[in-house]
């Protein structure tokens, strides 16, 4: 009897804070609308509709993020935030900062994705057509363009928003998949060098699937340890010292592996150069900026909230990973001859610098890393935007030897790229220096001086490939049949200009964004 | 004291000039003649701007009171409160004379590099590539802003920003406008300096973290950092962080290898700034930051640094004797002279440091003049090889005569400015470290060899084929190099005004580093001390 009664009891409807989740819900909703547009709107109208939906949606989501951030119902009375959606999503200041960053970066990346002029569209006409087949040629001649990229991008961005906000590991896993699957697809859609692009997508998918599996294993272990997938419950179990330590440490390791894979930290970095090289450059820009921010956000939440008490246990491993990442990224970058691979290795090394901020395990470290990610994200999109502009007959001229003398021919474009390289090298008066200074300061204050020394040595090594590119662009004579810089459309120019301005402003007057990051980090993550 | 922001104004003028120059549109399709007109306009703007900056700094120097507070014309504003960073500027006597030296050299360099951007002085056979004139002069002016900033900064962070950012314009000036192995030289210069700078960054951050100990708001202000009490071991590590950066910049043996390459590849004007001003940033940093922030570590490392300095003096001189390339030879003489300056600084006597500071200024003028005159010669003959010259004094007597004066200043002939400073350095060193002083004196004998032998090979003897008909200095070149020669002579006869400005600052440094002069063994040194007390 009692069993039947219990079964008959009404199921409590979950309480969803729609207002607080509105930025994320808006992005997901518009992604679904985008699918409908793809299904029902006539072909000529699609691109315009998608652009309005995607750009407008991202902008609106950004505004909503600001509204949530200033709402007193979440942060009133000194509250650090609110755990929404029945404990699945944590709405706190770091999350909102990360959301804002991702939305801005995604907006700029979409500008690149939207680059339209027919022979410049970065995406294949028909992804299903076999490379080199008659079908493919027909598609190209018919002027078909892939407009599915817009809803796919929105899904990925939605996943990126949920990923760092997830307050339990299952939600985080779902977010990981939601952000990854569209990216796997997007990677394979390059218009030129399609085999390379498909290979990249395949590699990314296989390795990504492996890392997801590890992530899931980690969740299982931690569930076995604490009996819950909730981050706060894991933290409580860890500090009360109940349960099997083996499960806990194995869980931390496996979960960390999944997250570090997404960041591209060594020794899980091997996908990054291949994927960055093969993927359509706008998608690379999206991954290099937004995915990195989202993955770091999730890493922060997991290691600060769930394993915050155990920093003595995971720190040595994280030290090793950070050192390895900085060293591998910078040393291997020296030998690169492809500009996209060079930027990929540079991105690996940059991830290592941010990891030094993670290791600080302090509010200062969090705030410095948030600043670094925002500053780096804008600059890296700008750098990839420049890469899309340098072209010859076969598409983008990514091989560095083709860039010789670019500064002579197109001083503005080459100058912008040199400026981005200078900021990646961390030379003062650019945002890269401010960011590096901030994370290194937090790391030294947290007692990680040796890590910082490795960091500066790696920066010095990393400066060499950057400087070599500048030498090629400005001090070498142009090759007679060298690539031309195409006249950028308003979209791509906007991405470059945003990158340059943001880099300059954050180098000269970083205080406003630093204050914001600091304000975001002081309350830390909600538990 | 007036609150007019002298230093900020002096720093902003060249920057504004650079912006104006960058805004001059290139003639594009209008043709070569129109482009030449634009270029001429650009050069005139650069010259006027650098002269205005000079006028401002002279006006500032006249208002400087040697007996006044340590730092004058100070200005302190918040810049990045989050990091405790201030826009803080101010000068003591040492910084003031170095800023003056910079602003004096600048119009000289602009005049001297009038045609260099168009490929004025390439070696033989290399067709001068046409390059953007306005970029060259814009870079020069940006560099001037940063050079003023680096001497004026009294916030360690601000100093670091200028110290590093300064590399970028110089890198482009060597890499884009240089000659010969310019790409290699530019990369080597940048990477060397960057590595040193990054190690210094670690020390800068650590200094900040130590200043934040005990619940204080951390600071980068020099005035507060000097009161920081650090354990001797910490001091030593931080000292090393700063020292390596400055030793690379100065450059001190064995960190010098970038300088001969960079100075050989750079245009003469850029080489003057490189050797005349950028190197001084290194020695200036040794005095201002290494000595004053880490007194006990400075004493600890003194024997090592004196050894490096003496090796540098002798090594630079001996290698200079063996050079076949004019610019390379002058670059190596610089390595030798910078060793002497470092020796004077770390002798920790008031004569030694006064002499070293005075030497920084004199060396800027003397080596600058030597580089410019060598550059004028190279422009005419299109060769940097000493062997390609001979008998120049018969066809171009003015050039040869001025070259001789500049050269003699390089070997510190009495009556020329470098003699005063070199003498002070040697006396100041001798009172404390006799053997190094004697070894350094050997360096002066070697200097006589390399200078006079170079003069003999290039200027005397039969007139070589391609030297016949070589034109003498024109009016522009005379105007460029004349002021430097005049300064060499005037400061050689009457250095007192500069010494008066320097002395209180040197005294303050020595107090800060807890160094006292040994009992003067000779009445002559007492005389100089009276000058210092005045």
Kindly report, residue by residue over B110-120, the tens digit of the pLDDT: 999 888 777 54
Model confidence at A513, pLDDT cuts 50, 70, 90, reads very high
How far, rounded to the nearest angstrom, does the alpha carbon of residue B309 sit from its chain's CA centroid?
Answer: 17
Higher pLDDT: A50 or B466? It is: A50
Query: How confident is the model over A242-277, as pLDDT tens digits?
Result: 778 899 999 999 999 999 999 999 899 999 999 999
Which residues from chain B sit within 8 angstroms of residue A514, using beta carbons?
A: 80, 82-83
Report phi then psi at B207, rounded to 5.
-60, -45
Nearest CA in chain A to B198: A456
Q: Which token pair is A8?
A: 């008959």
- What pTM was computed for the model? 0.92
Q: What are the residues whose beta carbons fall under 8 Å from the beta carbon of A189, sequence distance 6 or more?
A: A123, A124, A127, A146, A149, A197, A280, A283
Query: How confident is the model over A191-227, as pLDDT tens digits?
Result: 888 889 999 999 999 999 999 999 999 999 999 999 9
Q: How many CB atoms lie within 10 A of CB A395?
A: 17
Closest residue to B186, CB basis, from A445, A475, A477: A475
CB-based contact A369:A358 (threshold 8 Å)? yes
> What pLDDT shows up at residue B170?
93
- What is the distance between the alpha carbons of residues B470 and B133, in angstroms, rounded to a whole number? 26
CB-based contact B429:B344 (threshold 8 Å)? yes
Q: Which token pair is B159?
A: 């100093």
- Largest Cα–Cα distance in chain A? 89
Q: Which token pair is B374?
A: 């060598």
DSSP A372: H
Strand partners, A83: A90
CB-based contact B205:A452 (threshold 8 Å)? yes
Which residues from chain B sit within 8 angstroms of residue A411, using beta carbons?
A: 132
Q: Where are the beta strands (DSSP E) in A208-305?
A: none
> What pLDDT shows up at residue B519?
66
Taking an 8 Å cut-off on Cβ atoms, the answer to whether A511 and B160 are in contact is no
CB-based contact B292:B132 (threshold 8 Å)? no
Q: Which token pair is B401?
A: 């005569």
Which residues from chain A sit within 8 angstroms of residue B211, using beta carbons?
A: none
> What pLDDT shows up at residue A456?
92
pLDDT beyond 90 at A240: no
The DSSP secondary structure of A119-131, one letter per residue, reads GG--B-S-TTSPT
Taking an 8 Å cut-off on Cβ atoms, the answer to whether A476 and B212 are in contact is no
Which residues from chain B sit within 8 angstroms of residue A476, using beta carbons?
A: 183
Low-confidence winner among A66-70, A516-520, B37-41, B255-259 (lowest mean pLDDT): B37-41
Q: Which token pair is A328?
A: 């591998």
Count residue pairs from A and B with Cβ separation < 8 A.
89
Q: Across chain B, what does the average pLDDT equal? A: 88
CA distances from A157 to A62, A211, A247 (A): 12, 20, 33
For residue B29, the surrounding DSSP H or E stretch is none
> What pLDDT shows up at residue B532?
43
Low-confidence winner among A479-488, A518-527, B69-78, B299-308 (lowest mean pLDDT): A479-488
CB-based contact A136:A13 (threshold 8 Å)? no
Q: Which token pair is A376?
A: 């780096």
Query: How confident is the model over B161-204, as pLDDT tens digits?
Result: 999 999 999 999 998 888 888 889 999 999 999 999 999 999 99
The residue-averaged pLDDT of A395-414 equals 85
> What pLDDT shows up at residue A7?
56
């Amino acid at each position: 009897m009692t069993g039947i009664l219990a079964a008959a009891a009404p199921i409590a409807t979950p309480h969803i804070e729609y207002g607080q989740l509105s930025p994320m819900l808006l992005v997901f909703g518009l992604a679904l609308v985008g699918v409908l547009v793809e299904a029902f709107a006539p072909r000529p109208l699609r691109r315009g509709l998608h652009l309005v939906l995607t750009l407008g949606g991202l902008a609106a989501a950004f505004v909503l993020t600001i509204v949530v951030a200033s709402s007193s119902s979440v942060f009133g009375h000194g509250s650090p935030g609110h755990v929404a959606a029945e404990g699945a999503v944590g709405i706190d200041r770091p999350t909102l900062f990360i959301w804002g960053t991702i939305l801005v970066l995604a907006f700029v990346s979409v500008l690149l994705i939207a680059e339209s002029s027919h022979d410049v569209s970065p995406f294949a006409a028909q992804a299903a057509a076999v490379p080199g087949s008659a079908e493919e040629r027909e598609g190209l001649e018919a002027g078909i363009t892939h407009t599915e990229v817009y809803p796919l991008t929105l899904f990925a961005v939605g996943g990126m928003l949920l990923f760092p906000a997830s307050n339990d590991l299952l939600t985080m896993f779902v977010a990981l998949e939601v952000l990854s699957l569209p990216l796997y697809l997007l990677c394979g859609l390059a218009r030129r060098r399609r085999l390379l692009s498909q290979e990249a997508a395949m590699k990314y998918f296989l390795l990504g699937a492996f890392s997801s599996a590890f992530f899931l294993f980690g969740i299982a272990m931690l569930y076995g340890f604490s009996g819950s997938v909730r981050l706060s419950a894991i933290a409580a179990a860890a500090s009360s010292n109940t349960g099997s330590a083996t499960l806990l440490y194995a869980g931390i390791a496996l979960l960390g592996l999944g997250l570090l894979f997404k960041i591209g930290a060594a020794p899980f970095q091997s996908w990054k150069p291949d994927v960055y090289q093969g993927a359509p450059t706008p998608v690379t820009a999206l991954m290099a900026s937004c995915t990195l921010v989202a993955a770091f956000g999730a890493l922060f939440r997991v290691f600060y909230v769930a394993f915050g008490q155990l920093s003595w246990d995971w720190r040595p491993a994280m030290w090793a990973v950070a050192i390895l990442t900085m060293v591998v990224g910078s040393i291997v970058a020296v030998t690169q001859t492809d500009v996209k691979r060079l930027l990929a290795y540079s991105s690996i090394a940059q991830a290592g610098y941010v990891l030094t901020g993670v290791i600080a395990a302090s509010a200062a470290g969090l705030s410095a890393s948030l600043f670094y990610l925002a500053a780096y994200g804008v600059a890296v999109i700008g750098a990839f935007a420049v890469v899309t502009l340098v072209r010859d007959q076969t598409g983008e001229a990514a091989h560095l030897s083709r860039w010789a003398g670019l500064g002579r021919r197109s001083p503005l474009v080459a100058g912008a790229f040199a400026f981005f390289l200078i900021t990646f090298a961390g030379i003062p008066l650019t945002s890269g220096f401010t960011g590096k200074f901030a994370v290194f300061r937090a790391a030294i204050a947290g007692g990680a001086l040796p890590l910082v020394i490795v960091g500066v040595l790696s920066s010095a090594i990393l400066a060499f490939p950057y400087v070599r590119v500048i030498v090629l662009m400005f001090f070498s004579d142009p090759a007679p049949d060298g690539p031309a810089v195409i006249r950028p459309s308003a979209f791509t120019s906007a991405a470059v200009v945003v990158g340059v301005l943001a880099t300059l402003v954050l180098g000269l007057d970083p205080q406003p964004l630093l204050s914001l990051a600091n304000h975001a980090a002081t309350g830390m993550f909600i538990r | 004291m007036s609150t007019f922001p002298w230093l900020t104004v002096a720093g902003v003028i060249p920057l504004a000039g650079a912006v104006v120059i960058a805004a001059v549109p290139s003639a594009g399709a209008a043709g070569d003649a129109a482009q030449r007109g634009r270029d001429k306009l650009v050069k005139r703007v650069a010259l006027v701007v650098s002269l205005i900056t000079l006028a401002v700094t002279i006006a500032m120097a006249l208002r400087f009171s040697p007996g006044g507070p340590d730092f004058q014309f100070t200005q302190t504003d918040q810049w990045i409160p989050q990091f405790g960073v201030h826009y803080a500027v101010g000068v003591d006597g040492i910084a003031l004379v170095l800023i003056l030296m910079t602003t004096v050299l600048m119009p000289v360099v602009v005049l001297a590099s009038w045609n260099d951007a168009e490929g004025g002085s390439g070696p033989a056979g290399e067709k001068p590539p046409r390059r953007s004139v306005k970029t060259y002069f814009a870079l020069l002016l940006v560099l001037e802003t940063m050079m003023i900033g680096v001497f004026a900064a009294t916030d360690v962070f601000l100093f670091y920003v200028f110290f590093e950012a300064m590399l970028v314009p110089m890198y482009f000036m060597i890499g884009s406008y240089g000659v010969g192995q310019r790409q290699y030289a530019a990369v080597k210069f940048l990477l060397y300096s960057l590595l040193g700078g990054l190690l210094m960054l670690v020390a800068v951050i650590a200094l900040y973290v130590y200043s934040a100990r005990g619940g204080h708001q951390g600071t980068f202000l020099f005035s507060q950092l000097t009161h920081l009490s650090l354990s001797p071991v910490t001091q030593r590590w931080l000292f090393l962080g700063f020292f390596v950066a400055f030793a690379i910049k100065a450059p001190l043996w064995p960190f010098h290898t970038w300088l001969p390459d960079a100075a050989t590849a750079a245009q003469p004007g850029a080489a003057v700034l490189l050797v005349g001003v950028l190197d001084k940033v290194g020695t200036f940093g040794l005095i201002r930051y290494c000595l004053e922030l880490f007194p006990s570590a400075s004493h600890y490392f003194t024997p090592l640094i004196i050894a490096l300095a003496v090796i540098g003096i002798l090594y630079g001189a001996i290698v200079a004797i063996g050079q076949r390339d004019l610019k390379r030879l002058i670059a190596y003489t610089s390595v030798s002279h910078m060793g002497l300056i470092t020796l004077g600084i770390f002798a920790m006597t008031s004569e030694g440091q006064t002499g070293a500071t005075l030497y920084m200024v004199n060396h800027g003028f003397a080596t600058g003049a030597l580089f410019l005159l060598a550059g004028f010669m190279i422009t005419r003959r299109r060769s940097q090889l000493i062997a390609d010259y001979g008998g120049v004094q018969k066809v171009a007597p003015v050039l040869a005569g001025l070259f001789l004066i500049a050269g003699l200043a390089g070997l510190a002939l009495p009556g020329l400015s470098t003699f005063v400073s070199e003498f002070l350095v040697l006396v100041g060193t001798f009172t404390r470290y006799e053997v190094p002083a004697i070894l350094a004196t050997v360096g002066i004998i070697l200097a006589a060899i390399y200078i006079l032998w170079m003069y003999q090979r290039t200027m005397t003897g039969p007139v070589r084929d391609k030297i016949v008909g070589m034109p003498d200095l024109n009016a522009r070149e005379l105007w460029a190099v004349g002021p430097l020669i005049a300064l060499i002579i005037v400061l050689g006869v009457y250095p007192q005004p500069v010494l008066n400005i320097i002395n209180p600052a040197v005294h303050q440094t020595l107090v800060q580093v807890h160094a006292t002069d040994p009992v003067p063994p000779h009445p002559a040194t007492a005389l100089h001390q009276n000058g210092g007390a005045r």
